Amino acid sequence: MKSITIQGVKRENVGKKASRALRNADQVPCVVYGGNEPLHFSADEKSFKPLVYTPDAHTVSLELADGTIISAILQDIQFHPVTDKIIHADFFQLYDDKAVSIEVPVRLTGRARGVVAGGVLRQSMRKLKVKAIPGNLPDEILIDISSMRIGHKKYVGDIRGDQFTILHPDNAVIAAVRTSRVAVADEDEEEEAAAEGAEAPAAEAAEEGNAEA
């Protein structure tokens, strides 16, 4: 998984007054959990832009002024209800041998057969929460939808990862192809229907022949 760097300074004072002063200076009060004890620091609000305002998932390298470097993931972030300014951020420290959970984007590839036939593709889950050790965290989850026809769905249970676990129920729907007013029958479906229609009279004739005998 890609990583971005956020530079910060350890905080000596962690009270409300000190936090307010930091925010007034466009600094974000932050905490890193997962170590022996929580580590408080502050960082420039602008440094969060590539981490927060993106559909991609990242790990974070926290580089503090005293030389401390911590690998982490963003666990929680709070915004001001009126201005949308970032007012607080929580991070969780990463260890090479300990699994963590993080949301990663879902990317659909290919063009569904049902869409070609006039159906409409609906993607209900654009991110999936996965669990893995840091070295196995995926940048994204690719799902090939080329074979999907009208009425078909892709479920979480259809996705398999050898190096990570998806933390959603197997029956959760990721994407579906729905019918529409302009939808037309799939050619293969028409052929199957025609074959079934041809088999039915033949079977009836065979049954009538057996009955006469």
Tens digit of pLDDT for each residue in 7-37?
999 998 888 899 999 999 999 999 999 988 9
- From 48, 69, 94, the end of a domain falls on 94
Do 161 and 143 form a contact (C-beta atoms < 8 A)? no
The whole model's pTM is what?
A: 0.77
Instruction: Give the whole-angstrom CA distance, residue 40 versus residue 60.
Output: 16
**Is residue 87 one of the residues assigned to a domain?**
yes
Low-confidence ranges of the chain (pLDDT < 50): 191, 193-194, 198, 202, 205-206, 211, 213
Per-residue pLDDT at 180: 78
> What's the structural domain count of the chain?
2
* pLDDT given at position 183: 61
Instruction: Kindly state whether residues 114 and 39 are assigned to the same domain.
Output: no
Domain holding 88: CATH number?
A: 2.40.240.10
Q: Is residue 151 part of a domain?
A: yes
Kindly report the CATH number assigned to the domain that includes residue 127.
Answer: 2.170.120.20
Q: Rounded to whole angstroms, how far apart are CA atoms 75 and 141?
A: 20
Q: Do 87 and 105 have their domain in common?
A: no
Q: What is the pLDDT of residue 158?
A: 94
The verdict on residue 19 lying in a domain is yes
Could you tell me if residue 197 is inside a domain?
A: no
- 142-168 burial code (b ≥16 CB/10 A, e <16): ebebeebbbebebebeebeeeebebeb
In angstroms, the CA 107 to CA 160 distance is 15
15 domain-assigned? yes
**Is the domain of 38 the same as that of 107?**
no
83 and 8 inside one domain: yes
Find the domain containing 50 and state its range: 3-94
Shared domain check, 43 and 114: no
- Does residue 201 fall inside a structural domain? no
Are residue 9 and residue 82 in the same domain, yes or no?
yes
Residues 118 and 169 occupy one common structural domain? yes
In a domain, 199, yes or no: no
